[in-house]
Structure 1
Amino acid sequence: MTQLVVEHVSKVFGRKPKEGVRRLQEGADREQLREEGTTAAVVDASFTVEQGEIFVVMGLSGSGKSTLLRMLNGLLEPTSGRVLFDGRDLTALPAKALRDLRSRRISMVFQHFALFPHRSVLENAAYGLEVQGLPRAEREKKAAEALELVGLGGWEKSWPDELSGGMQQRVGLARALATDAELLLMDESFSALDPLIRRDMQDQLIDLQRRLHKTIVFITHDLNEAMRLGDRIAVMRDGRIVQIGTAQDILTEPADDYVASFVQDVDRSRVLTAASIMEEPRALVGPDDAPRAAMRVLRTDHASAAFVVEGGRKLLGTVTEERVERALDEQQRPQSLEQPGAALHKTPNPSADEGDTVRDLMDTDCVTTRADTPLSGLLTPASRTTMPLAVVDGDGRLKGVIPRVALLAALGDHADGDHADGQPTDGHHLGEGAADEDPAGHGREAASA
């Protein structure tokens, strides 16, 4: 369900802002407006945010991202366009209704904590509830629950100056959570923190989101933070949104040279996942298939092994061509002719397809991974199998496979991006023998190219 809709929103400061919007629509750029004494902070921004999504807006200083955020809760009025929250046009709400909406349904977490130094941690966390007019006992109870959520249980009576920067930001987050607001707006909320504390706060937010499923718009200038937190990311430049997509979309298909330059130093092995490189499995057999039927599949797909699946592609194991051949051999029996001294010869056993099935021949020890596993986490499981790595869902259904050549190629692309001098990296050394054929018939085209 779509919770937030931003439609062609622009914000122009200075003389004749409406005229500035008209000039922008006619093709004028920000520099031309600046020369005329007008500043275009946000230009024609449009996007939607789904309920329970973390939507990250990323851009350098001056790109307009913080101005955009302040229009999402009515702190700034757009010069043109509109913002809809649960279908209500914020730009058309009376001032009292807008204040009520901000106090109850939309919360903001600031970069510099914004704690009251003369209030205790509990009183700071309860401030939004106080604005709502809740009785003291009720607001303190809710604030204490929020502090427990962010890991500050037991610190209720402390003062802000007794806390570290990370703990102060947790109080700010607890204050936003205490109101049970549906939409959280986070403006560079972790950028003032030391790197280790910042990483810890990112972990905290991810954990809270798993439990609370809030709708979050998160502002940052840090691409790694954006890719770690965002379900989707909007990249801003000079007031305009130049691309919206998942971290994988932005990394693999940048919209222009600006976005490409942004992502060139990103560690792809920690952003791209198994889902981004997995292929459709080819050689598949059923557990009740006869060896002859399994052999036909193996030969048709030019494979030396197959995955064994049942209804809904539930993965049961693997079976090799060698094991199937052995079963077929065992289903042939020697039959001597009646003439003395006649040579022995083999004739097919009439029950050749009535004995063993693939279930009797398969190996159930199958190495698997999940679709959301980053590439950096695939090397270890891939090293434990000669088969393509099986990608399964939570119910054990086979979603795809990753041939060894595909994994090495993806890691090699990352290494090439990091080593412009062309010197081999560890990823390249792993590719020795990468042209070997995968048992399940994958990667043969790549090997012969």
Structure 2
Amino acid sequence: MPAEQSVKIAVRGLTKVFGDEPKDALALLRQGETKQAIFEKTGLAVGVADADFDVIEGEILVVMGLSGSGKSSLIRCLNRLNEPTAGQILLDGRDIVPLGHRELLEVRRSKYGMVFQHFALFPHRSIRENVEFGLEIQGCAVDERAEKALIALKQVGLEGWEDATPGQLSGGMQQRVGLARALAVDPDVLLMDEAFSALDPLIRRDMQQELVALQSRVRKTIVFITHDLDEALFLGNRIVLMKDARIEQVGTAEEILSNPATPYVERFVAEVDKTKVLTASAVMRRARSVAFVNDGPRTVLRKMEDEDLSFLCVVETDFRLRGIVRDDAALDAVKRGEKSITSIMEPGVQPVGPDTPVRDLFGLLAETTMPAPVVDDAGRLLGVVVRASLLQGLAESIGSNGNASTSDSATEIVETAA
């Protein structure tokens, strides 16, 4: 974990067994028995088995799996709507499992907001009054909660709808009200349990995009539950993939697709089109040499000759990208006796970020022999993507999984690049 990131929630050995007298189930879990075998022997249902993972502050962590995998049981343990049978849940370093009723209520009210699959709105309350509900429970003054509700509605794009009732809103708008209600109490952590599953596909995609945009503004820590792999890949900074109450793998979408930890994960992601998930950072090459803004054309030509290159990226001394320079332009500048490359710099291909999906690079590289520079948030050069590295990255991806949909996309690229 990078030094600048901090852990908001640390889950250690978390286990949830539904039913009385869970000791037998715990003993069987320690022996490696499966969820199904434990149910057959004891009649007890294992919801979560020995889960270990961290939630990084400010990330969207997606917990996904098929029905019965344990994902909803897990998220409800995080705020103890499900009482854990064993393990720790460290919120800002404090284990909330031993907390008494009063302390737990305070944690839920001040630290957590929850958004459910079904909107759970009060039909006879106005939209503003629905959003105020959590603040009302907290004992906020009338004027204060009205102000906070309006701010939350504006954050989710429902400004002007505060006096409407839920029945006047579409499904997507009602889900935004649920999100605004959670945001109004200004929680540290948003728990979203299948929050978009009840929506029509187009509205669902809109809400996914809205959530990503909202997250870029408010920077909450979000744990999002879904059974939909495409949704997980779109939303998640990282993904926790579950099967039969156990965690199969934790990682970024790219890590899970490129290096599945178990045969189950490999089968689960087999049909995913990797060109939608692989990013520029996975297929870029480090720049073997660069030209600095203050270099002269002779220096630039020498660097090109040493590395057998026909171009160089031009950067400031702090590696912020300025453009590119070609060998023929540098040679002409030498003949003219110029001492600077400033006049021969070109803007080149539009820079991309390291998280840019590979699919978005196709068009950039289809009509040019120039590379696509990859830069960080400050515009500093990280590397370049050329056609060869793009195809090599895809070929390695195909080789690891034999993914048919990825093969089709790679064929399209080859045809385009030819």
2:379 to 385, 392, 396: 396
What is the deviation of 1:384?
4.6
Q: Distance in 2 between matches of 1:34 and 1:388?
A: 57
The runs of 5 or more residues in structure 1 that have no matched partner are 332-354, 433-449
AA partner of residue 280 (structure 1):
R
Aligned CA distance change for structure 1 residues 327 and 170 (closer, same or farther; 3 Å):
closer
Secondary structure of the residue that 2:16 maps to in structure 1?
A: strand
Aligned ranges for residues 399-418 of structure 1 at < 5 Å? 399-410=382-393, 417-418=403-404
Q: Distance in 2 between matches of 1:288 and 1:423?
A: 42
Aligned CA distance change for structure 1 residues 121 and 361 (closer, same or farther; 3 Å):
closer
What is the deviation of 1:119?
1.9
Aligned residues of 2:273 and 2:406 also touching (Cα < 8 A): no
Aligned residues of 2:58 and 2:220 also touching (Cα < 8 A): yes
The aligned counterpart of 1:19 is: 24
What is the deviation of 1:428?
3.2
The aligned counterpart of 1:182 is: 188
Aligned residues of 1:13 and 1:39 also touching (Cα < 8 A): yes
What is the deviation of 1:125?
1.0
Q: Does 1:112 align with 2:118?
A: yes
The aligned counterpart of 1:382 is: 365
The aligned counterpart of 1:89 is: 95
Q: Distance in 2 between matches of 1:106 and 1:419?
A: 40
The aligned counterpart of 2:341 is: 359
The aligned counterpart of 1:426 is: 412
Q: Distance in 1 between matches of 2:324 and 2:261?
A: 41
The aligned counterpart of 2:106 is: 100
Q: Does 1:323 align with 2:329?
A: yes
Q: Distance in 1 between matches of 2:297 and 2:310?
A: 14
Aligned CA distance change for structure 1 residues 95 and 360 (closer, same or farther; 3 Å):
closer
Aligned residues of 1:392 and 1:399 also touching (Cα < 8 A): yes
Aligned CA distance change for structure 1 residues 417 and 427 (closer, same or farther; 3 Å):
farther
Q: Distance in 2 between matches of 1:100 and 1:423?
A: 51
What is the deviation of 1:228?
1.0
Q: Distance in 2 between matches of 1:139 and 1:308?
A: 54
Aligned ranges for residues 237-256 of structure 1 at < 5 Å? 237-256=243-262
Aligned ranges for residues 285-364 of structure 1 at < 5 Å? 285-327=291-333, 330=335, 355-359=337-341, 362-364=344-346
What is the deviation of 1:41?
1.2
Secondary structure of the residue that 1:55 maps to in structure 2?
A: strand
Could you tell me the TM-score, scaled by structure 1's length?
A: 0.85
Aligned residues of 2:274 and 2:406 also touching (Cα < 8 A): no
Q: Distance in 1 between matches of 2:407 and 2:331?
A: 49
Deviations 1:367-420, CA, capped at 9 Å, x for gaps: 122222221221222235322221123433211011211223445656973359
Secondary structure of the residue that 1:254 maps to in structure 2?
A: coil
What is the deviation of 1:174?
1.0
The alignment's C-alpha RMSD in Å is 2.3
Deviations 1:180-227, CA, capped at 9 Å, x for gaps: 111111000000100111111112211211111111110001111111
Q: Distance in 1 between matches of 2:279 and 2:287?
A: 17
Identity %: 48
Deviations 1:280-329, CA, capped at 9 Å, x for gaps: 1113233443444333322221222222333022323333333344455x
AA partner of residue 89 (structure 2):
V
The aligned counterpart of 1:224 is: 230
Q: Distance in 2 between matches of 1:103 and 1:285?
A: 55
The runs of 5 or more residues in structure 2 that have no matched partner are 1-5
Q: Size of the alignment, in residue pairs? A: 408
AA partner of residue 426 (structure 1):
E
Q: Distance in 2 between matches of 1:42 and 1:238?
A: 8
Aligned residues of 1:319 and 1:358 also touching (Cα < 8 A): no
Q: Distance in 1 between matches of 2:159 and 2:325?
A: 54
Secondary structure of the residue that 2:9 maps to in structure 1?
A: strand
Q: Distance in 1 between matches of 2:321 and 2:30?
A: 55
1:31 to 24, 36, 43: 36
Q: Does 1:146 align with 2:152?
A: yes
Aligned residues of 1:18 and 1:79 also touching (Cα < 8 A): no
The aligned counterpart of 2:3 is: none
The aligned counterpart of 1:61 is: 67
Aligned residues of 2:7 and 2:57 also touching (Cα < 8 A): yes
Deviations 1:2-36, CA, capped at 9 Å, x for gaps: 11111110111234312211211122221221112
The aligned counterpart of 2:49 is: 43
